[in-house]
Structure 1
């Protein structure tokens, strides 16, 4: 049980959690175990459903609800062919927050809001924040370039204030956060809270294999690389031998492995060729990827699974933020959230104490 003092912000008011901290929806990482542990710690856990079938998503939601009665969220791909059915799942099971990796269409936002579900898209630019705010999103999560996985070129310290100035809805800051100083800084900027991925991945509650977690701890600040070679979009990954080889590999050498991974993903997900084609078309039409890049993007889940689930560094990849260089332990979610919040409260109080009221003469 969390023992740190509560920090109330628009994020906590909207979602019903105790602390303004979001565990982001990392594919293959943010499963029921991690999400429920985060929720019990008083933060907002986000279940990653993009790597799950519809049936697996429902099973995962029910498992989280069996483990805890605290609020949590589910992350979805807005461009998925079955996005509407996934929205129905959230409505049916009373999930508190709907998180989106891409901007959901206004009709999806409206359906969720009609049922009291908080809508939180992830965005990477002020113009995108303005768009989803005009469509009715309740808050946005903005990730700076320091963040792991798909990311942009602008650091959080520049991106966050631009988004805060652009919209009136609450903003959650992600990319580069791992401790109380970061939370205090984000709140001082005007953010409603922080989102963390790598920091929650590196907890004892994460289901990532222990040897892989220990491998993460070996990397420094220069231990990540941003590449488009994985799926056609800028992707921050650990500099494992596999990724170093991928970065230097010629495109034609990727074709055969891409086809093999497509077949493996089809077997694992029980997806029909029709569904794979529909997802591919949806992905292609919602981005500026070429067809070859779309094929690579469709196979990203298998590459991540090989590293994060199977622990195979020779055939898989590991998403990671630059904060991996600052992390050296594997606490429980409760320990992590408590110490972040307690430290943030101390630092905010100390900062306030340095402000001396003006005493102008009259």
Structure 2
């Protein structure tokens, strides 16, 4: 395995050996994947948005039983119980809190006072400047190539903007899958890379093998960014469901969305009050009309149908464009070792070439 050959400010900040982050993918980033990433020297991040508070507590303790390495938890800043989740992270001494939406200045301060590293995810320079001004320790910036909810600006344009705008470590996401990408990100001034699709497609991922095969069979042209599924730009594999969503009217899709939202409530044990409160918070954050909020509430069950139950044609398969260049299922240890080794070699060779007379 690789020795500690690429130490960056991200490593120093979080205590990980390698500047590689596994993102908090809903239904995918559970204790098994997170602990495997942590053991391999990367920063594994638990996805908590699809967990109740007791489920999150159990997942955190399971990760801690599997590894003594640092790991993180991804939180929804607009969740009705965000405060309780922050308190849980503090009690359990979780190393890193990441956020899909910008947390409040007060929450950032509370976590930092307890020694928890705060890393919000952003999709624009102004958002990075805002959270940096509020005291965030680092920022993860995702370009349009990334999977799930994403923006329209390519990583190669967004990343240098953010690096130039803030004086905290910047983690690059969107389109990364190998050591060449890590080397390029470091040359741009990033402190590391974050990957979702690449970690989903590992042997440590709990996603059913037949679903992984659907991902492996995809080309770089087989993803689509659509707002027709949940009202927000969402990059996913093109399937029969996405084609249907693109062709059917909003009115025709609402009954199915309502049934899925009821199923999600039953599965998670969330109260209607909590679901409505979270929905209103999402509406304020994204400016969604009420009809689109119902579609957004529907999304977790559609993702679960594909990634947990193994029905890719009946659900959503979030995917970055990098899916089209991935053709194997390494372990997390093999993946991170290969990425860091390749990046170190490339940087060493380029440095030697540049300094030759």
1:295 aligns with 2:325: no
Q: Distance in 1 between matches of 2:285 and 2:149?
A: 15
Contact 2:28–2:205 at 8 Å: present in 1 too? yes
What residue is the counterpart of 2:138 in the other structure?
Answer: 139
Per the alignment, residue 266 of structure 1 pairs with 265
Match of 1:325 in 2: 324
Q: Secondary structure at the match of 1:284?
A: helix
* Partner residue in 2 for 1:280: 279
- Residue 221 of structure 1 corresponds to 220
After TM superposition, give the deviation of residue 356 of structure 1 in Å.
3.1
Paired residue total? 357
| TM-score between both structures, scaled by the size of structure 1 | 0.97
* 1:99 to partner: Cα distance: 0.3
Q: Secondary structure at the match of 1:355?
A: helix
Q: CA deviation digits over 1:160-213, x for unaligned, max 9?
A: 000011111110000000000000000011100000000000000000001000
Instruction: Provide the C-alpha distance between the structure 1 equivalents of 2:37 and 2:49, rounded to a whole number of angstroms.
Output: 19
Query: What is the correspondence of 1:333-348 to structure 2 with a 5 Å cutoff?
Result: 333-348=332-347
Whether contact under 8 Å (2:254, 2:294) holds in the other structure is no
| Uncovered stretches (5+) of structure 1, i.e. residues with no partner | none
Looking at structure 1, the residues matched to 348 and 355 of structure 2 have their Cα atoms a distance apart, in angstroms, of: 13
Q: CA deviation at 1:20?
A: 0.1
- Residue-by-residue CA offset, 1:239-288 (whole Å, 9 max, x unaligned): 11211221222111111101101110110011111111111111112221
For 1:234 and 1:102, the matched residues in 2 are separated by 15
1:159 is matched with 158
- Mapped contact 2:240–2:314 kept (Cα < 8 A): no
Give, in angstroms, the shift of residue 314 of structure 1: 3.2
CA–CA separation in structure 2 for the residues paired with 1:336 and 1:248: 39
In structure 1, what is the Cα distance between the partners aligned to 2:302 and 2:236? 11
Give distance in 1, aligned partners of 2:263 and 2:5: 45
Supply the distance in 2 between the matched residues of 1:9 and 1:202 (Cα, whole angstroms): 26
Compute the displacement of 1:147 (Å). 0.3
8 Å CA contact 1:4–1:339 kept in 2: the answer is no
Q: Take 1:253 and 1:118, find their aligned partners in 2: how far apart are those partners? A: 44
Matched residues in 1 for 2:8 and 2:2: separation? 18
Query: 1:1-362 to 2 correspondence within 5 Å?
Result: 2-356=1-355
Q: Following TM superposition, where does structure 1 have runs of at least 4 consecutive aligned residues deviating by more than 2 angstroms?
A: 2-6
CA–CA separation in structure 2 for the residues paired with 1:144 and 1:230? 20
Find the residue that maps to 2:312 and give its secondary structure: coil
Alignment deviations for residues 104-158 of structure 1 (CA, whole Å, 9 cap, x no partner): 0001000000010000000000000000000000000000000000000000000
